[in-house]
Structure 1
Amino acid sequence: MTGNLRSAKARTRPGDPMRAHDALPAPLRQWAAQAVLPWSARSLRRAWTRALRATGCPRAALLRLSAAEAATLASEGPRIWGRGHPYFSALPE
């Protein structure tokens, strides 16, 4: 009966999230400031590293992050907020 009390989701990560965010590269912090989804510093760093490795260009890496965010919004957004949400009603069908 104790297994359900030890959920991995209940644990918090060690460290200071603001310090982790401040340690991100400046272009990535600027992108995160206008992002629609609430990205963690850890997720941003991981996605940025992958995109930068694949493209070799910071600007192209930011475009990949924007595409990833748009894909996430398109797939999960209507289920979470509903098709009637202003963000989704402005998108073409």
Structure 2
Amino acid sequence: MKILVPYFINRLPNEKFIIADKKRKYCAVYYEGELRFLNIDKIDIIYKTDEDFIEDAWKNFYNNVKIDSRKNIKLMRANMPIKYWKYLPERG
């Protein structure tokens, strides 16, 4: 998580967000420029499991952060084989 969070801070510095790791009972909270890592073993988190909701949320995020002029198909192929692209919601 400590590797993942800086990416979101750099991309979305003016946003508020929480990234939770259910398995490790740990979360990162970013609010008004301040980052905190917290244990969440005593917090009851409700996880939305509706696949359509999650897919729509991901597509919304992806469409708002992508930079069309920096699209690099060669790099995309290097990171994930084309045969798996059909499973990516943002490709649909």
Q: Same fold (TM over 0.5)?
A: no
Q: Structure 2 length as normaliser, TM-score?
A: 0.25
Q: Structure 1 length as normaliser, TM-score?
A: 0.25
Greater share of strand: 2
